[in-house]
Amino acid sequence: MKYTLITIGLLLILGFIPVEVDIDYQHIDNVNEGISTFFLTSLDAGENIEVNITHTGTGNFTLFLFNQRPIYSYVKIDKSLDKEIFTVAINYSLDDNPYINYTVAETKLYYIQIILLNSGPDTFFLYCNRDLSRYYIPSIPGYQISIITVSIISALALLLILYKNKMKRNKHS
């Protein structure tokens, strides 16, 4: 009976001890070689972002942080990195378990890219001290408005000409 009261008392005391967890966001994903995974977050000037990647297998992951929206994956067909990524990224990590701890200078959207370069497929675990949103780079390039406008006008003009010719033939018959 005494042990039960002591156990209940200790559990109540432990319930009032605050437990602090710094991880605001976690994501698990299984990717193949050459595949990029993107995330974005909004940060104010002076805020800190901490990102950590661990993995289950022998995959070679890289981690990049951008202060502008990436429109390319910077991964070549042979699954190597385009050298331009190192000048565009504001911070990066090529370690076995990539880690970035960065304090931002301006208030804006920041983008995170995780790439599995080789030894895949592999599962990665992303931990971040900020809430992240998944970001997808469209694989289809945008259309130019001028080409669409000219195409629509041309199609309408062709339909109008065909309609007038049909009306003329019906009139003569």
Q: Taking the domains of the chain in order of start, what are their residue ranges?
A: 22-148
Domain covering 22-148: architecture? Sandwich (2.60)
pLDDT tens for residues 95-144?
A: 989 999 999 999 999 999 999 988 879 999 999 999 999 988 765 555 67
pLDDT of 12 reads 66
What SS3 class is residue 134? Answer: strand
9/91: higher pLDDT: 91
- Check whether 19 has a pLDDT greater than 60: no
pLDDT of 142 reads 58
Q: How far apart are CA 7 and CA 1, in angstroms?
A: 10
Instruction: Decide: 48 and 137 in contact? Cβ < 8 Å.
Output: no
> Which H or E run contains 164?
helix 145-172
**What's the pTM?**
0.68
